[in-house]
Structures are given as structure tokens and as C-alpha cells.
Structure 1
Amino acid sequence: MFKIIAQHDDFIVVNKAPDVNFHDEGEHGSGLFSLVKTALKTDDLYPVHRLDKMTSGLIIFAKSLSCAQQFGSLFEQHDIEKYYLALSDKKPTKKQGLIKGDMSKSRRGSWKLLRSHKNPAISQFFSFNVMPKVRLFVLKPHTGKTHQLRVALNSISSPILGDKQYAGTPSDRGYLHAFALRFTYQGERFEFIAKPNEGELFQQPQVQEEITKILKPWQLNWPKL
């Protein structure tokens, strides 16, 4: 369900498995938050951000309200760098760049990207051909909207593999992974990286080789916004 990546006096970082909901699902089982509290044998744990059920990867939990508030400020001020990996079998309308637009609720819990920019979702990305008809995306969201990256890739005609909600080709999992985090907390710089370890396509040698090349995704030539 998850693996603890790092333990700090004030927070922990875990690597979440795909298809695990953040909150409890009643008779369908405990969610990630409950599972982590149980593993740590504590109720003093505070979520500071979330991942969709299908999304695997890095997530932070604060060990105190004070820490949670500090992380809240970091997220609000966009001082936490987040990087994601995704796979699609559909050719994008552009291979790299910026995806920006307001998001509006659509049908059945989905969202859609608009052309207006009143309160836009902002994402940057690079993409690489890794296998025949499979492209790897490295994504850097600058905002934290619901389903932001899933909607962004769908908007450029490359829905994420396995993302049924956004017309992704059926697969063994939804191929979106929270890959890396970088931030400064109380004057100390932190960097966390977790390669995806679940999903047949993520484990293909060609995909692993490309991921290894970008183990520090902040070193890619991200244009300034």
C-alpha cells in the first residue's frame, strides 16, 4: 500500500501505491491516511497534500499542526517543486511546453480545461518517445487543481494510459506517478525521488532507461514562467 521513504522529526514522506484511495472507503477498506497512522501508531498526523486514487508516488504527512501550517504556506506560495511521470499511447499535439487554462467541472466528476485564464491551472512538461506508440511525460505542475495533470494531458490529445475517466486506453494501472519533491523547510533543503515500481510499462527497460536519465528532474531546462 505504501512505503516510508523518509522520517523527519516534523514530517514523513511515503511512496503510495496506485489504486489506493487517500481517505477510507467504508467497506472497501482503509485509505492511505488511516494506513499510515496505523503503521506509525499515532493519531498526530496531518495531511498537507493529496494524490488521486490511481496516482502512485510521493506524499508528505506532517507530524504536528504547526508543521502542517508551514507546509500549507509553502504550497500556497508555490515553494514546493513537484514533478510527475506519466505514460500515454496517444501522440500529443505538442511535445513540450506549457498547458494553462481555467478548469471547469464536467460530467461524472470529471473536469475540462478552458481557454480562459482567470484562475488557471498551470503545468509544464517535456515528453520523450520510449517505446513504439508510448511516450513518457515529465510534468511540473505550478498549481494544485483537482485532476490537473490528467486534464492537462487529455487537453493535448494524450490522455494517460489507464485513466478511464479521461478516455485513456485501458491498462493494468493509471500511469501517473508523483516522482520527485524539492523544497526548503526551516532553512534546510530537501530532495526526494521515487521511481515508479508498479505497472508493467513503467518496468520496461526502455522506460526505465529514460527515467534514469532524469532522476533529478529539476535539472531539465524548464523555461521560466
Structure 2
Amino acid sequence: MLQKSKYFLGGIFLIAMSLMIAFAASGSGKWENFGTLFKNIYGDKEKNKTIAMLDGEPISKQEYDAKKVFLTYLYEKVPSSQDIMEKIVYDKILLIEAKKLNLYPTKEETLAYMQKIRDIKENVKSDGVNIDDSSERSWQEILKGQGMTEEEYWNSENTIKGYQTALAIAKVRSKLAQDWGFSGKKMATPEGMADYEKKLNDMINERKSVLKLEYLEPGLVN
């Protein structure tokens, strides 16, 4: 299973560390600002306000604001409201699929998955992979920005919910790959991955065409 693969988890860890290193190189304090922005999002009194509905599934202000920050830091430019909503809808459709296929993880499963993520640094190191020190500094900056200790971060309901969502999407993607006949060997090639992503995007677009998206916040899409 996808969530039990040591090297799948290792891949997630190394990708995350690579992103941290890249951002850290762009200037000291950037990750602290990143953490502070999320602290403000989670502390927003209107964070649970529903700003849109996707076929009866609410989209909250917190989801929108968090996606905006993530995409801004990922692409180093502020995305349009439409781009933000496109990504949220993309993820929501996969989450709807997860529930339909009975793949949405329980809290207990999510906590077990998180523990594997916490352990992965030691697992990767035991395999002889060196992680740049700047990644650890970036991680500490994020915690400082959020005003949290590492234990507080891992025990936060926001953290747990985030990993639950990520795990649900990963499980759906894995199940669809199996159903569509994409072997691990094929997925390891650029051509195979491109074919899979195209098929996935086609499925998402097909779902979007029949789902009703209703905006409740004026001027949300620009």
C-alpha cells in the first residue's frame, strides 16, 4: 500500500527538504514568515466561514487562505483567486472520490501515518542519505513563525487535518493508478507519469463538468 512504503515516505520527505533548502537560499527569515502567515490563518476568527460550495461540500476561508499562501511560496508569486479556487476544487474532487471509494483515512490511521513521517528522517539517514542543515533551520523557522514547539505542531488539530487530507489524496491517486493499469515501473518513467497525470486531469475535468460550484463571497474570482 502507498502509505506503508518506506521509499514513498522517503520521497515525500526529500521533496519537502528540497523545497525548504530552495526557499532558505532565497533569504533568511522567509520560512519564519511562512509560519507566521499560517499562524494568522489558523487564528482568524472567520476561518470557518464558508466562501463557496462544491456540490454541497463547503469551502472555508481557511482553506482558501492556506492554499493562497502555499501557492505563493511554491511559485514565488501571488496566484489569482481563480487559480487558487482551481487548485482547491481539484483537491476537493479527489477528496470526494476518497469518500466514495471508502479510502478517506480515520484519525487513527492519519496519526500512524504522521508517525511514519516523523520517523522518516532517521530512516533516510540510516540509508546513507545526507540532508542539508539548511532544511533543519528552515523547519525551525516555520515553528518559530507559528509560535510552536515541534511537539505542539505534531499534536495540532490543524496539522492532523492537513495530513489526513494529504493521505486521502495519496490513497486515491494510488488506487486510480492501479485501476488504470499504471504499474510502479511505468509510473517511474516521465512518459508514464505524464500519461497518468493526463488521465487524472481528464477525470477531474469530467467531474467538474457535472458538479455545481457556487461562490458565496463577492469578487472571489478575478
TM-score for both structures, normalised by structure 2? 0.31
Larger relative contact order (CA 8 Å, sep ≥ 6) = 2
Larger proportion of helix = 2
- Mark the structure with the bigger radius of gyration: 2
Higher strand share: 1
- TM-score, with length taken from structure 1: 0.30
